[in-house]
Amino acid sequence: MKRLGLISAAAMFASGAAMADELSVVCSAEQDWCDLMVAAFEAENPDIDVLMVRKSTGETLAQVRAEAGNPKIDVWWGGTGDPHLIAAEEGLSQSSDVDTSELLGWAQNMAQISDGRTVGIYAGALGIAYNADILSEKGIAPPECWGDLEDPRFVGEIQVANPNSSGTAYTELATFVQLFGEDEAMTKLAAVGQNVNSYTKSGSAPSKAAARGETGVSIGFMHDMVKLASQGFPLKIVAPCEGTGYEVGAVSIIEGARNFEGAKKWVEFSLRADIQSRAPEVGAFQVPSNSNAQVAPESPDLASIKLIDYDFATYGSSETRERLLARWDAEVGDPNPEQ
Amino acid sequence: MKKTVLIWLAIGLASFALLPWHMTDDGLLDFKWISDGVASTGLLSTLAGQWWLAPVGFALVGALIVQLAVSEPVSRARWTLGIAGAGLAAIALQGLIIVRAGPRVLESLFAGEMVTAGQPGMGAGAGLCALALLFAATISVSQSGKGQGDAFVISTIGLIVALVAIFVFFPVVHILVRAFEVDGGYSLSEFFPRFFSSDIWGLGCLYGQRSCGVGINSLFLAIMTGAGTTLLGLSFALIFTRTDFRAKKLLRVLTVLPIITPPFVIGLALILLFGRAGTVTEFFADLFGWEQTRWLYGFWGIYFAQLLSFTPIAFLVLIGVVQGVSPSMEEASQTLDADRWQTFRYVSLPLMRPGLANAFLLGFIESLADFGNPLVLGSGYNVLSTDIYFAIVGAVADPAKAAILAIALLTLTLSAFMAQRIWLGKKSYATITGKADSGQNAALNPVLKWVCYGTALPWAALTVIVYSMIIFGSFVKLWGYDHSFTWDHYIRAFGIDFTSGRLSGVAWDSYFTTLTISSVAAPLTALVGLSTAYLLVRQKFVGKDAFEFSTMLSFAIPGTVIGVSYIMAFNFPPIELTGTSIILIIVFVFRNMPVGVRGGIAAMSQLDKSLDEASITLGANSFTTVRRVILPLMGPAILAALTYSFVRAITSVSAVIFLVSAKHNMATSFIVGRVENGEFGLAIAYSAVLIITMLAAILLLQLLVGTRRLRRSDRVQQVAKVA
């Protein structure tokens, strides 16, 4: 990774001097976490040279699809589980056959529904964040439940991503459906929609906007909110009283990987308790999937949050997804309040 | 001429016999391929059983025999052309049919062990053989009497057409066919209803309904941005060339800043200034008791950011043109008793038409393809470029929808391009001639001067504020909240561990890669762009309009589409480039070449053809004419092309994001990752370093290329002081 030799004309054409063993990793988690993982892995496996690049899950899935048949990626580590499941469903990833017995139930579940093609590495619960400064300035009582967000006191103050472009928002949509049933979920989402000032494209954008006071309230993943709050923004985090859904971050080995052995080593490495315990060092507050890994004190405590029994097999399938999104478009929609 | 063909054929044969035909695992310059015992050169591979390479060798030998044996020039040329053409076709066909996994079509014809073993992508040998055959063919075309018999011109046309075909059409076709895909087959009947759907072209916003289609949104934004940037760019160009404004140097720097700014940074700065909780917003809200609104999110925010970002492009195109307007014409007008306004309105302005049209076209296309600003500020205002991106990477990936939207975007570009052609018409705009031309440009009339000041200076002030904010942001702990001074961001990004001499900062890797790739891409871009411009302005050939449009194609297609189509096209043999730095260089060259083309066309339209003719009459060939006459007069255009392609390679995001690999990561992709992660401080510190690097590079380029001397005295006529 840190090989910083002079990039000469020779290097332009040479595809790298005779390196021991190269492992090509795409990382969809936060950059610092990616760097930490690579450094730790290379320290343990000095004979493997890890080539890592960070790309978002959507970009990675698009690249894996385009490269199908002659992939340049060996392992895809991190990022929300749905795209990993889609890759597994489309036969773009392969089973790693690693031992998952130490993992928590939701992580094993991931491996089961994908025939071992993708394994859970962390979980993050969905939540509500609000900017304490803005809400107290405007005299708005903070929300406690999903239901509160329908209240007219939040008109023009809520920001959430569009489920057509964002996996985070799709998790929210699926959570509402699992909490309230499909019909009521749509009614509730439409009612919340009356208060939404904009549907962003990216799932992490609403919480960033809330942190800076561009919006009062946001919906997103709690670990992102924890990170923003720990940077010093006046962001308060709410675990909704009705219960909430969660995402599972995953790791997959790409079908046709050139270095399968190295890839398998990486997967085993990333599931180990001592490795997962290091995530908080770089401000990654997701809950680790290894039952023996230490959970950071800042991490949202999944035990105290009312978590729903999220059905990844059903709501991760393309068929359900397309149906729910079509209903969302028809009944909730993007009202474009700015025009 | 015969000698040139022979030389090229010899090069072709030598590379067929001596260089590895396919890509080698360790690269050409790692000479392992010589000693590893695998038959690698074209000749050896053919003998070893890859019989499908044989026609290429036969074509080279055949053409050589024709050259030596046939004495009658025209029939010799025709024979060579035929054989070389057949050789090229053989190279293309064998490459497309036999890929890594064996033959794709005609399996019965291509049977046998060697064929089903497949072949890797083409390498240096294949490339040079193709080039040799191409030049043998084009030179023969000129010898057979076509195209005024000018070998240089025809060879250049041939080369550029081939490059555009391989690196623009070939990949783009891969993605556009997706628009017609229905359940594994292809259908036209499905395409039209989807293409003309109200999601794209709906005019709902005019009737007070919810919103217009994305196509209409994009079109409206692009027209506004094109017009706005052209006007602002013209104001700047006029201030520079026609007034005695004092702080020209400062203005010059300001006009360059926005294009050397990495994406997202301007949007972010605007949010911090004008967002609902922004500094300026809060100031006015406190002062006047206004409600703090979210006006920035939507059309006006994107428009605002695009004006800031793209005005410099209009300026770069216009400055050369405005400078080039001949003072003699303006003097003649004034001698004929026109006042300064009339001179400007009826003489200077019409002569600037090519510049205005090209500036508008660039602004229009840039706005259509802009991805960063709509993403950050778009909110409910959907445009094609972001919708295409999310159709590819969104929660529901729909390549067919992306392809249809891309076709809609291309339609808009094509229409703008046609409109520009019609507006310019067939008039001559030549004002730089070989004749003595020692006059002075007329100064602006006072009203116009103040209009220019009034539009350009507020823009300049805003730019200063935005950039001070950016510099400020890189030195504080948490921009917007905790303003205590810190060096942390710079140390994290560009730290050096002095005890071990290691570069410990996280940004060094991508920083050096970015600079290397951009410095390689910039001169290539300028070369390809300006040669194309030369052909378009100075030469007549069949299919010129189609040729001109095709060179604009890669610019008009959003980066995301280009990025994905490059992966689809160049991940497999015959041309396998993914994961290398070459694919990044190529994508930059062909994506930014249109700017070189536009700038070159605008500048070259002003050079009187009599200059070329004089040179040709004196016995120089086209190549010498270009080198000795045209190039020296093209200083500003060369500078613009070099500068622009260099900075675009550093700042572009959407195309690059799919093509970067672990070995070759680019600065922008690194910055975007940090922005997504909420680490604005680090992202901005990195951006600030990039901005300074680019400024230094631009100054260096300016010194190297130098300014064009037109043997005219002081540029602006001193206005007599009226007591």
Tens of pLDDT, residue by residue over B460-494, are 888 888 888 888 888 988 777 778 888 888 988 88
**pLDDT at position A329 over 70:** yes
Q: What is the pLDDT of residue A187?
A: 92
Contact B648, B595 (CB under 8 A): yes
Put simply, the answer to whether A165 touches B395 (Cβ < 8 Å) is yes
Q: What is the pLDDT of residue B149?
A: 59
DSSP state at residue B180: G
Q: What is the mean pLDDT of chain B?
A: 80
Nearest CA in chain A to B25: A15
Determine the Cα angle at B597 with ends B593 and B603, to 5°: 145
* Comparison of pLDDT for A178 and B455, the residue scoring more: A178
Determine the Cα angle at A111 with ends A108 and A113, to 5°: 110
Residue B433 CB coordination number (10 Å): 15
B1, B2, B79, B148 from B75: Cα distances, Å: 15, 13, 6, 17
For an interface test with B, the pick among A38, A54, A282 (most B C-beta atoms closer than 10 Å) comes out as A54
Put simply, the answer to whether B662 touches A53 (Cβ < 8 Å) is yes
Put simply, the answer to whether B661 touches A51 (Cβ < 8 Å) is yes
**pLDDT at position B192 over 50:** yes
Q: What distance in Å separates the CA atoms of residue B593 and residue B530, rounded to the nearest whole number? A: 8
Q: What is the pLDDT of residue B222?
A: 93
**pLDDT at position A179 over 90:** yes
Contact B429, B606 (CB under 8 A): yes
Confidence of residue B106 (pLDDT cuts 50, 70, 90): low
Residue B222, CB-side half-sphere exposure with 13 Å CA sphere: 26
Q: What is the pLDDT of residue B209?
A: 59
For an interface test with A, the pick among B663, B664, B674 (most A C-beta atoms closer than 10 Å) comes out as B663
For every residue of B453-492, DSSP letters joined together read HHHHHHHHHHHHHHHHHHHHHHTEEETTTEEEE--HHHHH
**In A, which residues are within 8 Å of B211 by CB distance?**
336, 339
Phi-psi region of B221 (alpha: psi -120 to 50; beta: other; left: phi over 0): alpha
Report, as an integer, the average pLDDT of A172-196: 92
CB under 8 Å to B153, separation ≥6 — which residues?
A: B142, B147, B535, B539, B622
Q: What is the pLDDT of residue A7?
A: 34
Q: What is the pLDDT of residue A331?
A: 86
Query: Which residue has tokens 């994107």?
Result: B302
**pLDDT at position A19 over 50:** no
Report, as an integer, the average pLDDT of A171-176: 93
Contact B380, A336 (CB under 8 A): yes
Q: What is the pLDDT of residue A12?
A: 35
Confidence of residue A117 (pLDDT cuts 50, 70, 90): very high
% of residues, chain B, pLDDT over 70:
86
A28, A29, A318, B350, B582 from A56: Cα distances, Å: 5, 8, 20, 49, 23
**pLDDT at position A145 over 70:** yes
DSSP state at residue B106: -
CA quadruple B583, B584, B587, B590: dihedral sign = negative
Q: What is the pLDDT of residue B336?
A: 85
**In B, which residues are within 8 Å of A226 by CB distance?**
none
**In A, which residues are within 8 Å of B571 by CB distance?**
66-67, 70, 72
3-state secondary structure B198-224: HHHHCCHHHHCCCCCCHHHHHHHHHHH
pLDDT tens digits, one per residue of B401-457:
888 888 888 888 878 878 887 887 666 666 666 555 556 666 677 788 888 888 888
% of residues, chain B, pLDDT over 90:
4
pLDDT tens digits, one per residue of B674-719:
777 667 788 888 988 988 898 888 888 878 766 555 555 444 544 4
Tell me which of A44-58, A107-121, B596-610 is least confident: B596-610
Query: Which residue has tokens 């004089």?
Result: B614
Q: Are strands B98-99 and B102-103 parallel, antiparallel or unpaired?
A: antiparallel
**pLDDT at position A126 over 90:** yes
Q: What distance in Å separates the CA atoms of residue A159 and residue B28, rounded to the nearest whole number? A: 54
Number of Cβ pairs < 8 A linking chain A and chain B: 190
Question: Token digits for B75?
Answer: 């029939």
Put simply, the answer to whether A339 touches B298 (Cβ < 8 Å) is yes
Confidence of residue B67 (pLDDT cuts 50, 70, 90): confident
Report, as an integer, the average pLDDT of A114-133: 92
What burial letters (b/e) apply to B677-716, b meaning 16+ CB within 10 Å? bbbbbbbbbbbbbbbebbeebbeebeeebeebebebeeeb
For every residue of B350-412, DSSP letters joined together read HHTHHHHHHHHHHHHHHHHH--HHHHHH-TT---HHHHHHHHHHSSS--HHHHHHHHHHHHHH
CB under 8 Å to A321, separation ≥6 — which residues?
A: A170, A315, B395, B396
DSSP state at residue B179: G
Q: What distance in Å separates the CA atoms of residue B353 and residue B561, rounded to the nearest whole number? A: 32
Q: What is the pLDDT of residue B25?
A: 62
Task: List, in order of start, the domains of chain B with CATH numbers.
Answer: 2-145 (no CATH), 200-484 (1.10.3720.10), 489-705 (1.10.3720.10)
pLDDT tens digits, one per residue of B266-325:
888 888 888 887 878 878 888 877 777 777 888 888 998 998 888 888 887 788 778 777
Q: What is the pLDDT of residue A9?
A: 34
CB under 8 Å to B12, separation ≥6 — which residues?
A: B60, B128, B129, B131, B132, B133, B136
Nearest CA in chain B to A228: B678
Task: List, in order of start, the domains of chain A with CATH numbers.
Answer: 9-124+246-295 (3.40.190.10), 125-245+318-332 (3.40.190.10)
Instruction: Look at residues A115, A116, A113, A147 and name the one whose alpha carbon lies nearest to residue A310.
Output: A113
